Amino acid sequence: MLDTFYRIYSKLIEKGYYLKQWRETISIILRKENTEKKRDYSKPKAYRVISLLNCLGKVAEKIIVTRLSYLIETIDLLFLE
């Protein structure tokens, strides 16, 4: 199974493609709990958004970030003075 994921991620990185399904989120809007003050639910700040991202997309992003970080460090692409 790990070999399958490796081949998929390698091919996507090679092609420079990120699957559309991995960019989609599921979002849920929840009311914030009433605390000491009574909330005015006509205002956007009275709500909170919970977003669920695709796990495979998160793994792909982590792989890309790790590879870019390695290249930046080894080739001195980041010039700090």
28 or 59: which leads in pLDDT: 28
The average pLDDT across 60-80 equals: 82
Q: Note whether 1 and 51 are within 8 A (CB).
A: no
Q: What is the pLDDT of residue 79?
A: 66
Determine the Cα–Cα distance for residues 35 and 45; give it in Å rounded to an integer.
14
Question: For the chain, what are the domain ranges?
Answer: 2-75
Reply yes or no on whether the pLDDT at 61 is more than 90. Answer: no
Reply yes or no on whether the pLDDT at 16 is more than 60. Answer: yes
Residues 6+ apart with CB under 8 A from 66: none
**If you search the block for the tokens 């006509």, which residue do you land on?**
42
The average pLDDT across 8-14 equals: 86
48 or 22: which leads in pLDDT: 48
**If you search the block for the tokens 């709990």, which residue do you land on?**
33
Count Cβ neighbours within 10 Å for each residue of 7-20 and write b for 16 or more, e otherwise: eeeeebeeeeeeee
Reply yes or no on whether the pLDDT at 81 is more than 60. Answer: no
